[in-house]
């Protein structure tokens, strides 16, 4: 984004045309025409045409974000959960990356462990995606595993041995999960199963794993078991994580003393100055509050200006929607961008956490 030049950008539901044919369908042709009309080079159009020709009749449409430059694919991501109303295609020096940013900030890596006395199932997910990234079943020791009839673990001949097997199996599950959490930088761990097994697994987890643990005392591996409770727990836990992260960043931005780093409508200039000086660590945007306000996108450093007199001699690319211009300047200067819910920035449409 900070190297200049223009990009071909497509945001469209994939697969584009559900009926396989020897020639492109109507939506694919419409996207191609829009790219050509916007000035996309032939190499970009050819590459995108090949992607549009992909067929996958076995699944529902999912928004897909494509960014191409000089015939090379820069970004290709599915935006699961994105609500789009129509296909978008264009060629621009300032491509709108906000849909991609919104998607990425909602993508939280998490692990679900469904534990039983004899082993368990470990799945890794990236929130927003329908299917797991990995799915592993672990089978532990089984000798004298089941509780004695009528007395549970109170039957002394086998009780102690059974408990030790449970502990070893739980420890193996915990070890596998501990490694996943470090390797995948997991933010949430959900453990389900018999309450006693869940307790054994929890006891064997490392401190970082315990810090992100939520549990459900229900055997979701049992035949006929419903995933409804598990799905609800995951959903509410992920929502809480996102809310906590957002509140933390907003709070830290508000606590910075002596820095006028926020604004709304015509008062965005202090925030623009911070971006020009490359001092922004995290940019917070309320898209709805920013509305139709515009800022100047520049061809190089300082990347953004509120008025022509503050471009420092850098050419103006265009007068762009404020959210897009702010986002581009943030990315170009190495800042993180967080889109917040409307109204969470009191009296402001945008704010920044300044680098220490």
The residue whose two tokens read 């598990």 is 230
The CATH code of domain 109-246 reads 3.30.420.60
pLDDT at 58: 53
Q: Which CATH architecture has domain 256-354?
A: 2-Layer Sandwich (3.30)
Rounded Cα gap, residues 172 and 140, in angstroms: 8
Q: 327 with 280: CB under 8 angstroms?
A: no
Q: 258 with 277: CB under 8 angstroms?
A: no
Rounded Cα gap, residues 220 and 226, in angstroms: 7
Q: What share of the chain is helix, strand, coil (3-state, %, to 5)?
A: 35, 25, 35
Positions of the chain with pLDDT under 70: 1-4, 17-24, 55-59, 142-160, 255-267
Give, rounded to a whole angstrom, the gap between the first and last alpha carbons of the chain: 25
What secondary structure does DSSP assign to 9-57, as a single string? EEEEEESS-SS--SS--HHHHHHHHHHHHHT--HHHHHHHHHHHT---T
- Which residue ranges make up each domain of the chain? 7-95, 109-246, 256-354
Q: 272 with 305: CB under 8 angstroms?
A: yes
> Is there a cis peptide before residue 176, judged by omega within 30 degrees of 0?
no
The residue whose two tokens read 């799945």 is 123
Q: List the one residue out of 111, 99, 48 whose CA is nearest residue 74.
A: 48
pLDDT at 227: 86
Q: 295 with 305: CB under 8 angstroms?
A: yes
Q: 268 with 293: CB under 8 angstroms?
A: yes
**∠ CA 276-281-283, rounded to 5°:** 75
Query: Measuring CA to CA, how many Å separate 98 from each of 14, 63, 103, 169, 251?
Result: 19, 14, 9, 45, 23
Rounded Cα gap, residues 283 and 220, in angstroms: 41
pLDDT at 59: 62
pLDDT at 175: 97
Rounded Cα gap, residues 101 and 338, in angstroms: 8
pLDDT at 27: 87
The residue whose two tokens read 């996108």 is 297
What secondary structure does DSSP assign to 241-268, as a single string? HHHHHHHHHHHHHHH-TT---EE-GGG-
What secondary structure does DSSP assign to 125-193, as a single string? EETT-SS-SEEEEEE---TT-SPBTTTBTT-HHHHHHHHHHHHHHHHHHHHHHHHHHHHHT-SEEEEEE
Partners of residue 192 on adjacent β-strands: 114, 216
pLDDT at 236: 96
């Amino acid at each position: 984004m900070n190297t200049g030049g223009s990009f071909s950008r497509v945001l469209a539901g994939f697969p584009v045309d559900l009926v396989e044919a020897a020639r492109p369908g109507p939506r694919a042709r419409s996207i191609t025409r829009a790219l050509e009309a916007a000035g996309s080079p032939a190499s970009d159009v050819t590459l995108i045409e090949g992607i549009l020709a992909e067929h996958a009749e076995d699944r529902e449409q999912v928004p897909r974000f494509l960014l191409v430059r000089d015939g090379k694919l820069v970004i290709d991501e599915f935006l699961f959960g994105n609500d789009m109303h129509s296909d978008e295609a264009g060629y621009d020096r300032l491509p709108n990356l906000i849909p991609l940013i919104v998607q990425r900030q909602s993508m939280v890596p998490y692990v679900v462990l469904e534990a039983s006395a004899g082993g368990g199932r470990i799945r890794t997910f990236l929130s927003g995606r329908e299917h797991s990234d990995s799915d592993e079943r672990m089978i532990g020791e089984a000798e004298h595993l089941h509780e004695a009839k009528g007395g549970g673990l109170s039957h002394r001949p086998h009780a102690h041995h059974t408990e030790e097997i449970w502990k070893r199996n739980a420890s193996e599950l915990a070890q596998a999960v501990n490694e996943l959490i470090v390797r995948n930088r997991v933010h949430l761990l959900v453990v389900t199963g018999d309450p006693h097994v869940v307790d054994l697994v929890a006891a064997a987890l490392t401190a970082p794993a315990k810090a992100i643990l939520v549990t459900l005392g229900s055997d979701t591996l049992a035949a006929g078991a419903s995933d409804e409770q598990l799905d609800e727990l995951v959903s509410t836990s992920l929502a809480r994580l996102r809310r906590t992260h957002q509140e933390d960043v907003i709070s830290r931005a508000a606590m910075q003393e002596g820095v006028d780093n926020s604004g709304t409508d015509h008062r965005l200039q202090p925030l623009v100055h911070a971006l020009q000086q490359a001092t922004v660590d995290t940019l917070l945007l309320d898209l709805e509050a920013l509305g139709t306000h515009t800022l100047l996108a520049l061809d190089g450093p300082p990347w953004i200006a509120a008025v022509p007199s503050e471009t420092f001699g850098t050419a103006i690319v265009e007068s762009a929607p404020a959210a897009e211009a702010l986002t581009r300047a943030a990315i170009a200067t190495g800042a993180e961008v967080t889109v917040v819910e409307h109204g969470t920035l009191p009296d402001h449409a945008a704010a920044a956490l300044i680098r220490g």
